[in-house]
Amino acid sequence: MPFPDLESVDFANNRLIIEETSYDRENLQHEFDTLFVSLTNEQRNVYNEINKAVEKGKGGVFFIYGYGGTGKTLLWKTLASSVRSRGLIVLNVASSGIASLLLTGGRTAHSRFKIPINLTKDSICSFDPQSKVADLIKQTSLIIWDEAPMIHKYAFEAMDRTFKDILKSDSLFGGKVVVFGGDFRHILPVITNGSRHQIVNASLSSSYIWKNCKLLKIGEGKLGGPNHGEVQIDIPHDILIKDSVDPTSDLIEFVYPSILQNYKKKEFFQERAILAPKNEVVQEINDILLARFPGDHKEYQSSDSIDKSETVNEEFDPSLYSPDVLNGLKFHGCPNHQLILKVGVPVTLLRNIDQKNGLCNGTRLIVKSLGNRVIEVEAVSGSDIGKRHAIHRVTLTPTDKKFPFKFNRR
């Protein structure tokens, strides 16, 4: 028998390619048939245009523009099931971990394409042309990137340069079909202390890639009559603000009614959340809710220390900051020194720990048991609802600019 060529052997040993080609094609075809009939005319036109580009195999860059709730995720699923059912590879990525969980096989773009965290105008992705990631990209027929406007334009340009290099092509993204999606009215790239001009200049629409994007819209998501005029929406009387002695408790009772009878039900926390503008308000509501849960609480205290990089600075004296001072510091995106939990309470993950298994920033979980070194939780959001995980201790390094030094909180 003839020997297989080396390229085929490499692909057969590439775990990344095996993962992306191991989908059940028959089930995907049934899924596609169900999804396709539910598309609107606008969505169907977008699907046909992108699918035509995939079939031609000559590349193309598209941007799907639409408000939240206009069906972008439905369109992603339809495209992915259609292309995968033919045995082709689709890479689903998103700008944030929680958004990636809405996509089958989704990953963050930084994780999938090894995009550097600290970007410059000359950055490239952190993998070489002979790596398994490069082989995966060579075999890919379609790339879908959700919530694209959130990321700095340098990320897309780094990806473009890298793709051109590994695919030996001068076409945009090396001739691959790439579909971006999102809404520029959502969060734009975060520029620390940046002006309006700097933020706009960092957006995808200011990149050289934008002029080569084919802009497709899937609806405005507005309510209106036959003439698309304004409509009046009546607010139900039971949710209007009323005079109250304790408005916080009333709000909690409204969002979480009969919590003692319902806290063991996963769907109870899947459908409810209280949004607050400040961390102080979040802490106040958490304390009230925690007191209502039955059982004993367990307190975890962080171990705080000055980052070793600060010892290089001769002008910095770490003895000025005692453990008590460090313990009292509070940052956004980082738990306080004292973390008090009970079995059954909902928690939100603040870091990407294991994205493949659904543990990423924003994942909502329910505490199942509290150990000395691990916390057992059950997922109630994302793609692995009901799956249990063990959350280990993590060392966090806050990046808040208002403090003149770096420190670690474990």
Tokens found for residue 349: 């993950």
Measured distance CA(299)–CA(338) in Å, rounded: 7
pLDDT tens-digit profile of 274-313? 888 888 888 899 999 999 888 899 999 999 888 777 666 6
Average pLDDT of the chain?
Answer: 86
Residue 114: which region, alpha, beta or left (left: phi > 0; alpha: psi -120 to 50)? Answer: left
Identify the three-state secondary structure at position 77: helix
Smallest Cα–Cα separation from 65: which of 192, 248, 218? Answer: 218
Tokens found for residue 36: 């396709």
| Mean pLDDT, range 329-335, rounded to an integer | 79
Measured distance CA(410)–CA(304) in Å, rounded: 6
pLDDT tens-digit profile of 114-123? 999 889 999 9
* pLDDT class of 226 with cuts at 50, 70, 90: very low
Measured distance CA(368)–CA(287) in Å, rounded: 19
Instruction: List beta partners, residue 378.
Output: 366, 388
Which position has the token pair 């773009």? 109
Cα–chain center distance at 44: 26
Q: Are 159 and 89 in contact (CB under 8 A)?
A: no
- CB neighbours (10 Å) of residue 377? 23
Burial of 106 from C-beta contacts in 10 A (0-12 / 13-18 / 19+): buried
Smallest Cα–Cα separation from 178: which of 53, 75, 82, 88? Answer: 53
Q: Are 64 and 179 in contact (CB under 8 A)?
A: yes
Listed range (43-57, 59-73, 149-163, 319-333) with the worst mean pLDDT: 319-333
pLDDT tens-digit profile of 138-180? 999 999 999 999 999 999 999 999 999 999 999 999 999 999 9
Listed range (196-210, 319-333, 341-355, 365-379) with the worst mean pLDDT: 319-333
* pLDDT class of 216 with cuts at 50, 70, 90: confident
* pLDDT class of 239 with cuts at 50, 70, 90: low
Residues 6+ apart with CB under 8 A from 62: 46, 49, 50, 53, 177, 178, 179, 180, 213, 214, 215, 216
Residues 6+ apart with CB under 8 A from 166: 129, 134, 137, 138, 174
Tokens found for residue 346: 């909902």
**CATH numbers and ranges of domains, the chain:** 6-217 (3.40.50.300), 247-409 (no CATH)
pLDDT of 165 reads: 95
Measured distance CA(328)–CA(324) in Å, rounded: 6
